């Protein structure tokens, strides 16, 4: 058989991450190959996750490492500016439906978590509500997380029912997850899934995400008809989308 055969260059297999020394300590940097990217891009997620370095088609590990090395100064500054994670522990302040609440160990062996709104405080005092968590302090994180998930389910079930009725559709199931990649999803058979962390956001944000996924019950795409349904169900769609882009990542700092 005559003729020339041109061998297609294989995209090199990249490791999941590399490690660099940043400001005196080792920093993990996640590598993500993207055949559509035209250049190396380094970003620092606002949710506290590891920095991500996008590697374009034809990129190599050596070049990716060199690029990251050149960005060490910028990376150190961005990591220093990033807010720290807030654990679910005594004294921590977290948002609940968009309002700041301080976690208080209520003591006792039994009982339910209770949320108290901010009281009338003296001028210049910090106006925060309280989350009273019963039981031993070492169980605060688990008890508070379980309670927040129950509250999220209650809020989402109410919002989904309202929007589904307005659209004339019926979801087949509603589940909660803790994903970083999306706030909600809808399958072809009508199963809706949401991040429980939406209960930390202002109510209008949770309402928009519920409306967004319910709209998928009618249109399994993001075409004009879908957005028409979404905006009819949630007229505040644009404001909510902007909020999620600016502030959504911070919801993953808690817990």
pLDDT band at 11 (very low <50, low <70, confident <90, very high): low
C-alpha distance from residue 219 to each of 53, 161, 179, 222 (Å): 34, 17, 23, 8
The answer to whether residue 228 scores a pLDDT higher than 80 is yes
In the predicted structure, residue 83 carries a pLDDT above the cut 60 = yes
Question: Number of folded domains in the chain?
Answer: 2
Q: What is the DSSP letter of 220?
A: S
Indicate yes or no: pTM above 0.75: no
The band of 124, judged by pLDDT with boundaries at 50, 70 and 90, is: very low
Q: Does 248 lie in the same domain as 145?
A: yes
Asked which of 61, 81, 101 is the last residue of a domain, the reply is 81
Same domain, 155 and 249: yes
Q: How far is CA 217 from CA 72, 81, 164, 167, 255, in A?
A: 46, 41, 8, 9, 32
Question: Is residue 98's pLDDT more than 80?
Answer: yes
Q: Which residue has the higher pLDDT, 135 or 119?
A: 135
Copy the structure tokens of residue 135. 């039981």
Question: Per the structure block, which two tokens stand in for 182?
Answer: 């999306």
- Of the pLDDT bands very low, low, confident and very high (cuts 50, 70, 90), residue 5 is very low
Q: SS3 for 115?
A: strand
**Domain span holding position 25:** 17-81
Instruction: Look at residues 65, 81, 97 and tell me which one is the last residue of a structural domain.
Output: 81
Q: What is the CATH number of the domain that holds 187?
A: 3.30.2010.10
Contact 11, 64 (CB under 8 A): no
């Amino acid at each position: 058989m005559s003729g020339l055969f041109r061998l297609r260059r294989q995209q090199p297999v990249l490791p999941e991450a590399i490690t660099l020394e940043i400001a005196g300590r080792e920093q993990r940097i996640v590598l993500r190959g993207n055949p559509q990217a035209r250049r190396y891009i380094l970003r620092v997620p606002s949710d506290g996750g590891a920095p991500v370095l996008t590697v374009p088609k034809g990129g190599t590990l050596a070049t990716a490492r060199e690029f990251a090395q050149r960005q060490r100064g910028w990376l150190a500054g961005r990591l220093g500016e990033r807010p720290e994670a807030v654990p679910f522990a005594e004294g921590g302040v977290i948002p609940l439906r968009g309002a700041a609440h301080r976690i208080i160990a209520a003591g006792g062996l039994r009982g339910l978590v209770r949320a108290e709104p901010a009281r009338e405080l003296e001028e210049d005092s910090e106006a925060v509500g309280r989350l009273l968590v019963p039981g031993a302090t070492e169980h605060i994180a688990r008890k508070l997380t379980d309670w927040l998930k129950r509250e999220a389910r209650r809020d989402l079930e109410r919002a989904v029912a309202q929007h589904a009725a307005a659209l004339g559709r019926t979801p087949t199931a509603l589940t909660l997850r803790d994903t970083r990649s999306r706030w909600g999803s809808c399958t072809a058979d009508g199963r809706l899934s949401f991040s429980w962390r939406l209960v930390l956001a202002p109510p209008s944000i949770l309402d928009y995400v519920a409306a967004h996924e319910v709209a998928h019950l009618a249109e399994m795409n993001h075409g004009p008809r879908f957005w028409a349904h979404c905006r009819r169900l949630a007229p505040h769609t644009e404001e909510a989308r902007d909020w999620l882009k600016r502030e959504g990542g911070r919801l993953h700092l808690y817990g």
